[in-house]
Structure 1
Amino acid sequence: MKPITLEDLNAASKADFVAVLANAFEHSPWIAEAAADQRPFATIAELLAAMIQTVQQAPLDRRMALIKAHPDLANKTQRAAGLTADSNAEQNGAGLDQLSDAEYAAFERVNTAYRNKFGFPYIVCVRRHTRDSILRDFERRLPNEMAKEIEQSIAEICRIAALRLDQLVSGGERLAVNGRLSTHVLDTHSGKPAAGIPIELIEICALGKNRVIARAVTNADGRTDQPLIHGRPLPIGQYELSFCTGLYFAKKQVPLSDPPFLDRIPIRFAIAEPEGHLHVPLLVTPWSYGTYRGS
């Protein structure tokens, strides 16, 4: 669906305003209804702040209803019954529709333990996480007291809403909810950018299969035409960048051993800042390579 401009949203009827933003907060159009009465908004950030304030000032029973409106993560029964389009897309984007048997068992175990303790579903902004980091977050939060976990759940709901709002409304300065991962390859043997090197970005998974997140080929500047991840958060987790350098040096007619000493170079790294800008370059010769953390 094409985003609506903030100008058009401010001018819309209350019914149309609510229809656009009804599911920014899962199954809770009352939040959009309250925001509609506070128009006009000068920025999307101002709109988000008004909606968050409505949630934070709501009585406890209404905040609990908001928490309980969310589905469990990776729950086969709930997925079969049908999730909202937003929840389905968010869970699929994190690979929760492609779990291994071991991952399903792990999610079932922590979902059950969490519900048994707190009486409501575990909520996390899955677009900011990999499967492994979601499971780690489960374990970190299970020891929490009830009041702290209610507060944490509301904070995660507001993060989810911010990302949904970023997709629903355009105009003016965007919300600071997305990150960027980029790379470049410098051929330090020739002192020039390395063009034509195939790259794969792989998500490393402890219990399931590793996932290829992106593929690209370096351009004349030794960079990819687009960042490897952009326009969304950088999911917290472990990754590998794989660079096919052997064929590149062979095409350059650089003398190589047979087989090449360095044919495919893997660089493993971690992402910890979903809204950050992370640059992971490769400096390479036929016999050595290096990297560093850039931004």
Structure 2
Amino acid sequence: MSITLADLNAMPESDFVAALGAVFEHAPWVAAGAAALRPFTTVADLYAAMRRTVEAAPDEGRLALLAGHPELAGRAARDGAIAPDSIAEQTAAGLDRLSEAEFARFAALNAGYREKFGLPFILCVRRHGRASLLSAFAARLASDPATERRVAEAEMFRIAAIRLNALVAGDGPLRTTGRISTHVLDTMRGAPAAGVGLALYEVVPDGGLALVARAETNADGRTDAALIGGRPVPIAAYELHFALGDYHRRLGLDLPEPPFLDVVPLRFGVSDPEGHYHVPLVATPWSFQTYRGS
């Protein structure tokens, strides 16, 4: 349930801190620092005040803030012994559904990182697919402590921005969400293709496909809702499958079996989690093309 910015401005300080105390992991003092700077006219102003509170804190306080984050796919996460927001974030990234071999890999990466830097590895997992997450983990293990401290704080601020934007309703929201959308145009009929089955998959590290969403095109050849929307689009390679064969069969076309085009897969990459990726298909029973739309 969201809280309005107007309500936050009017709350007693204790209620304000209780409402926003989990935005930064185990650090209600950040919300307390921002409470003294009210009123806020935009969500972005509120976020800036919370960020300034962190940046003005003594170094030991900022280090404790980083140390309070849970390890990714660690034992505490597997046991559900971490903050609810962190559980939701790791679950959304699929870190609760790893194989034993994958859990072992994360355990080794976590141990290596903590040994080198003395902190848990912090990454805004909502912005990363499985392969991107592992790649970032490996790359940052090769970093130096000063650089890694800056990167870890930047990721902590990303996590807080997403949490705050989801929690508070008001003017001036933060840019924390992206979209994947599509539409299908039947150029043989010169009309949108309604009723085309769609499946969006993430390409995972072993080359397999993990289902993200299923949908069907409406009368406009689009989906009623974005295939991914209202959240960051994880950095990853994706495949979007279009069931053209079934669509053409329903039209009653005199086509061979199996048809020349049955399921058309389009593989594309997402590098900007807050971007809009529009992946349309222009098709006939014998040809198709695509492009990045808007």
Residues 178 and 233 in structure 1, CA contact (< 8 A), matched pair in contact too: yes
Q: Percent identity?
A: 53
Residues 199 and 241 in structure 2, CA contact (< 8 A), matched pair in contact too: yes
Aligned twin of 1:170 = 169
Aligned twin of 2:181 = 182
Displacement of 1:208: 7.9
Residues 70 and 76 in structure 2, CA contact (< 8 A), matched pair in contact too: no
Cα distance in structure 2, aligned partners of 1:119 and 1:208? 33
Deviations 1:79-119 (A, max 9, x none): 31511110000000000000123322321221121111101
- Rate the CA distance shift 1:252–1:269 in 2: closer, same or farther, 3 A: same
Aligned twin of 2:125 = 126
Deviations 1:26-52 (A, max 9, x none): 000110000000000110000001111
Aligned twin of 2:202 = 203
Displacement of 1:264: 0.7
Find out whether 1:98 has 2:97 as its counterpart.
Answer: yes
Displacement of 1:206: 1.4
- Rate the CA distance shift 1:112–1:240 in 2: closer, same or farther, 3 A: same
Cα distance in structure 1, aligned partners of 2:26 and 2:208? 33
Aligned twin of 2:219 = 220
Deviations 1:115-172 (A, max 9, x none): 1110110000011111111100011211211111111111111110011101111011
TM-score (norm 2): 0.97
Aligned twin of 1:54 = 53
Aligned twin of 1:271 = 270
Cα distance in structure 2, aligned partners of 1:247 and 1:143? 49
Cα distance in structure 2, aligned partners of 1:223 and 1:188? 15
Aligned pairs (5 A) from 1:1-295: 2-80=1-79, 82-207=81-206, 210-295=209-294
Residues 100 and 207 in structure 1, CA contact (< 8 A), matched pair in contact too: no
Cα distance in structure 2, aligned partners of 1:224 and 1:127? 23
Cα distance in structure 2, aligned partners of 1:102 and 1:197? 38
Give 3-state SS (helix, strand or coil) of 1:286's partner. coil
Amino acid at match of 1:46: D
TM-score (norm 1): 0.97
Cα distance in structure 2, aligned partners of 1:27 and 1:76? 18
Cα distance in structure 2, aligned partners of 1:111 and 1:208? 24
Displacement of 1:77: 4.1
Displacement of 1:14: 0.2
Cα distance in structure 2, aligned partners of 1:77 and 1:52? 27
